Copies of this chain bind each other. A is one copy, B any other.
């Protein structure tokens, strides 16, 4: 930078799909994580934090859109030539950890975790390449009660985070049911079964008629593009559609209808028995019928689920940017994945868990009118007039902090007017004025900034404003803390 030409300066911008989050968002997300962690710990789940990187082979390829190697993840080669990648979820690292430490872990091993995950995808509006997930999993229990407990914890966690009662529901299904139905119908090809899952997963968007086409020969969309179907014959496709429509009402009623549709195949019966056990445990755990329902239309995109699957859905209708009503939809999900640990060890280790996106839940809370961060306030600002009086300003701020009030001395170089504007922008509840007059008189002037704004709105005459000085209090210096505390805390 010593030569005469202008130095080449980097542009100040974040990489695409990565965002900076300010206090408002962070306060909400930290409150969620604190509340949910407390619930998970009360259920006996212990915290675990794995590193950001895993070896690529340990991560596996379970992302729905990841058909090509390294697609969907951020991968790089270590200096010993091994490929490592940033985790895309918290389940794959847990499977690796459990496999690595299986001999020495207390079993079943129950852990919760939260932290960033990374997806190397095309970013878009509201679609980021880094986001925070929060998971709870039980590894080493094949009991359906372990699924039920995860569901109960999820429901309690959502409530603890602030979702009003009745605003969310957890929908539960079991992959063994559809597998059983297809086995009875003679469909055993894994690729064809995957096609059926993918077709059913589009029920929300396409409705039964669209899904019927995808279960059969295929479907041409509005643009004319053709999606090849799963190739079921018409009778089997109708059976699948009837199966997906068997939800509604209480859990026992759905079970009875499903028994009629599925009954007979070994895998279907196993799925029904698991759901019955889950129902029983949910009752013991006090999970109401409207908090957790059986819904055969639930699929979950990830391929690694082997039994029960669950999805938490926000029921409130919200509006999009254009004011149109939209369903908010899924705020989390999970299920049983009995083969993930076996990828490493060769030994089957049953496991089940639930995961939610923290920003997504924060958005759901805002949609439900529970904006945790709306009331975030800045510090009390002590105005600076003279370098000579710095000790007075610092002493005032320190006294306020000593009783737990956030306070700061303005440390920029601007005058009074800019300092008041700064206090406003920080959403300061009050400004403390210790001018030469106040210091000489042993007093302090305190501006109640909320009250000031309120009163000022009702005063049209500028000279009247100057006279009344709305929201401004002059008191003995010794009453500083009590006066500010009354403004900030209302007592």
Which residues of A are in contact with B by a Cβ distance under 8 Å?
Answer: 6-7, 9-16, 18-23, 26-27, 30, 41-44, 46-55, 57-58, 60, 74-76, 78-80, 82, 84, 86, 96-97, 99-101, 106-108, 110, 116, 118, 120, 130, 138, 140-143, 145-146, 149, 280-281, 283-286, 343-346, 378-379, 381, 390-391, 393-395, 398, 401, 404-413, 422, 425-426
Which A-B residue pairs are the 8 nearest by beta carbons?
A44-B408, A18-B51, A44-B379, A284-B394, A12-B99, A10-B57, A12-B100, A23-B46
User: Given A41-B406, A406-B42 in contact, is the A50-B15 Cβ separation under 8 Å?
Assistant: no
In the assembly, how many copies of this chain are there?
Answer: 2
Residues of B contacting A411 with CB < 8 Å?
108, 138, 141, 143, 145-146, 149
Closest-CB distance, A355 to chain B (whole angstroms): 18
> In the bound complex, do residue B13 and residue A142 qualify as a contact, i.e. CB atoms below 8 Å apart?
no
> In the bound complex, do residue A47 and residue B20 qualify as a contact, i.e. CB atoms below 8 Å apart?
no
> In the bound complex, do residue A78 and residue B16 qualify as a contact, i.e. CB atoms below 8 Å apart?
yes
List 12 A-B residue pairs with CB atoms under 8 Å apart, sorted by A's residue number.
A10-B60, A11-B55, A12-B96, A14-B51, A15-B54, A15-B84, A22-B46, A106-B426, A108-B410, A280-B390, A280-B391, A285-B394
The main secondary structure of chain A at its interface with chain B is mixed
The residue that A346 contacts in the complex, of B9, B391, B413, with Cβ under 8 A, is B9
Closest-CB distance, A398 to chain B (whole angstroms): 6
> In the bound complex, do residue B15 and residue A78 qualify as a contact, i.e. CB atoms below 8 Å apart?
yes
Look across to chain B and name the residue whose beta carbon is closest to the beta carbon of A99: B12
> In the bound complex, do residue B107 and residue A422 qualify as a contact, i.e. CB atoms below 8 Å apart?
yes
Closest-CB distance, A399 to chain B (whole angstroms): 10
Closest-CB distance, A32 to chain B (whole angstroms): 14
Residues of B contacting A106 with CB < 8 Å?
422, 425-426
Look across to chain B and name the residue whose beta carbon is closest to the beta carbon of A400: B42
User: Given A42-B405, A43-B379, A74-B76 in contact, is the A141-B412 Cβ separation under 8 Å?
Assistant: yes
Closest-CB distance, A14 to chain B (whole angstroms): 6
Look across to chain B and name the residue whose beta carbon is closest to the beta carbon of A284: B394
User: Given A78-B15, A346-B9 in contact, is the A44-B280 Cβ separation under 8 Å?
Assistant: no
Closest-CB distance, A325 to chain B (whole angstroms): 32
> In the bound complex, do residue B284 and residue A52 qualify as a contact, i.e. CB atoms below 8 Å apart?
no
